[in-house]
Structure 1
Amino acid sequence: MPRQHGSSSNFGGTLPSNRNEGLRMPRFFKRLFKFPQMDFEMAIWEMTSLIIAPKKVFRSIYYHKQTKNTWHRPDPSFTYLLSFFLLLTSIAWGLAYADGFSRVLRITLVFIFVHFIGLSLLVSTLAYFLVGRLLGPGVPGLPGRRRQGLFVQPGEGEQLEFGYCFDVSIRAFFPVWVFLYVIQFLLMPIIAKNYFVSIFFGNSLYLLAFGYYSVITFLGYNALPFLHHTELLLSPVIILTILWFASLFGFNLPKHLAPVLWAGAGLRKDV
């Protein structure tokens, strides 16, 4: 996929004069509870675009890089909004497939802090150390290696930011929430049957969820001009497609896999 941008190191931006201004991560923590300053309208637009046209979500990062001198957006509005949606869906799953208030509360905590926040932190940490080092600039035609740091220092060359990895991870999780937490819940009485139509549509939800996750992850890192061979991040789509086709011969993912995934949250095994 061709990139429509150059490879300038600052994209017309001005480097901070003070070294402390290059520490970007503390800005994120300072804005954690400044709700009036959060751009929830932008977060809603991103959620809509992630399903319809995910490439649009990462086009605005160049303007952000020019004005803020960082790829990472220190705005937790997307995280808060998706956590709120997970709260609603966890209550729905709990009322339908759990017994008692304590189990509903447990499902809520697991959905938000394990499935969403925990998994996103794990994936972003792995991506920070693997993508930045293996797909960074190096020998032409081969994966390169580059020095990295948790915080961007002024005067240094472009580098992969941990905050940006987290931005990509939480946005890639949104389609997973749509297909596996919302649509699967609504269709569970139908797709949990052993009919071929049920298996086809139920298994296709998992293909769409994790396929979207891979594509959005690829688009996120492909938008960075200093990374190369990002098309390798699309390789899971091929594996997922093969597994999906093989599962059509009698393995119902919603019936067999959903109870395993949700068991740690306290849902009954007869989901």
Structure 2
Amino acid sequence: MSSSQRRSTMRVPPFFRRLFKFTSMDFETAVWEMTHLIIAPKKVFRNIYYHKQTKNSYHRADPAFTYLLALFLLLTGFAWGVAYAPGLGGTIRVTLVFVFVHFLGTCLAISTLMYFLVGRVLGKRRQGLFGPPIGGGGAEDALEFGYCFDVSIRAYLPIWTFLYVLQFLLMPLIAQDYRVSNFFGNTMYLMALSYYFVITFLGYNGAIYLNIGPTPGTWLTNHVALPFLSRTEILLAPIPVLAILWLISLFTFDCATNLAPILWCGIKLRKPV
């Protein structure tokens, strides 16, 4: 391998090079994405094609979305810690676990899994995380690890919204020993996880048709976001399973009091959830 090839394979990805260049981050777009991921998630992934055409990459090398969601996890971690953790040390531990374990650690683990799983089952894989695709295909025909991370952190937004924010606000109600409390608490988990898989599906779905016709309102269906992937409907398969588990849990299990995020921080709570 030549020295130029070695430098190419060892090159630091743009995402990491921009981690501390705050002035170059597009926080306005990140806020727009967060809003539309909740109300109209398909619009977010329609922009993939345009980004691919201008940057020649599906991956957005902009940490703004990651920073914003990490900040939100930090704030909600502080709220959970103040409410349930024993003292300042416990509160700090909760906030750090929320950000670095629940959010970043989980997203990195899932994006790595999806990179190999989606690449193997639904399309081609690359040689290494940032190398050329196996089998001689062009770079445009391979899944990028950075894009898997993009999808993962965006799919985490409904998890944060339902399970870290709404659950915290509604915990005094849904933690009660009533059937209706159990219903709303468990339904919140069903919605969060189902939304997670829907956004993941939209992120990898190669059949998102884009409004890029020659005249307004014209749809060119031969342009797709990820044309090298197929059978992405498999990613929606967990949702029926979740629905069945939700129905069973209404009579057997209380998600709010047994799966609350604060319970996964490795601390002894000052009071039960």
Same fold (TM over 0.5): yes
Q: CA deviation at 1:264?
A: 2.2
The CA distance in 1 between the partners of 2:9 and 2:56, in whole Å, is: 8
Query: Is 1:209 the equivalent of 2:192?
Result: yes
Q: Does 1:151 align with 2:138?
A: no
Deviation at 1:250, TM superposition (A): 4.1
Query: 1:266, CA displacement in angstroms?
Result: 5.3
1:92 pairs, out of 73, 79, 91, with: 79
Cα contact 2:164–2:261 (8 A) shared by 1: no
Q: Which residue of 1 aligns with 2:211?
A: none
Letter of the 2:108 counterpart = L
Q: 1:149 to 1:210 in 2, by over 3 A?
A: same
Aligned-residue offset at 1:23? 8.3
Contact between 1:207 and 1:240, CA under 8 Å: does it hold in 2?
yes
Name the SS for the 2:19 alignment partner: coil
Counterpart in 2 of 1:197? 180
Q: CA deviation at 1:175?
A: 0.4
C-alpha distance in 2 between matches for 1:198 and 1:36: 45
CA gap 1:21/1:86 in 2 versus in 1, 3 angstroms: same
User: In terms of mean alpha carbon deviation, does 27-36 or 246-255 score higher?
Assistant: 246-255
Q: Distance in 2 between matches of 1:227 and 1:63?
A: 18
Residue deviations 1:174-232 (CA, integer Å, cap 9, x gap): 00000000000000010011211101110011001111111100100004111010000
After superposition, the Cα gap between the structure-2 partners of 1:261 and 1:220, relative to the gap in structure 1 and judged at 3 Å, is farther
State the match for 1:177 in structure 2. Answer: 160
Q: CA deviation at 1:158?
A: 1.4
Is contact 2:94–2:265 with CA below 8 Å preserved after alignment? no
Contact 2:74 2:95 in 1 (8 A): yes
Q: Quick one: structure 1 residues 266 and 121, their matched pair in 2 at CA, closer, same or farther if it must change by over 3 Å?
A: farther
Whole-angstrom distance in 2 between the partners of 1:65 and 1:152: 17
Superposed CA RMSD in Å reads 2.2
> Using a 3 Å threshold, how does the CA distance of structure 1 residues 250 and 221 change in structure 2: closer, same or farther?
same
Which of the residues 15, 18, 29 maps onto 1:42?
29
Distance (Å, rounded) in 1 between the aligned partners of 2:151 and 2:11: 17
Match of 1:65 in 2: 52
The answer to whether the 8 A contact 2:151-2:200 is kept is yes
Give 1:29 shift: 1.2
- After TM superposition, list the pairs within 5 Å mapping 1:228-243 onto structure 2: 228-243=230-245
Q: Partners of 1:164 and 1:104 in 2: how far apart?
A: 33
1:268 Cα offset (Å): 4.4
The amino acid of 1:43's aligned partner reads A
Q: For residues 259 and 161 of structure 1, what CA distance do their matches in structure 2 show?
A: 30
- Tell me what 2:150 maps to: 167
Amino acid at match of 2:197: S
Aligned residue pairs total 246
The equivalent residue for 2:39 is: 52
Structure 2 residue runs of 5 or longer lacking an equivalent are 206-224
- 8 A Cα contact 2:15 2:61, kept in partner: yes
- The amino acid of 1:207's aligned partner reads L
Amino acid at match of 2:257: K
Contact 1:148 1:160 in 2 (8 A): no
Counterpart contact for 2:182–2:254, Cα < 8 Å = yes
Alignment of 1:68-79 (within 5 A): 68-79=55-66
Change in CA separation of 1:53 and 1:24 when aligned onto 2, cut-off 3 Å = farther
Identity over aligned pairs, percent: 66
Q: Does 1:112 align with 2:109?
A: no
Q: Report the Cα distance in structure 2 between the residues aligned to 1:259 and 1:74, rounded to whole angstroms.
A: 29
> What residue is the counterpart of 2:201 in the other structure?
218
Q: Distance in 1 between matches of 2:270 and 2:193?
A: 24
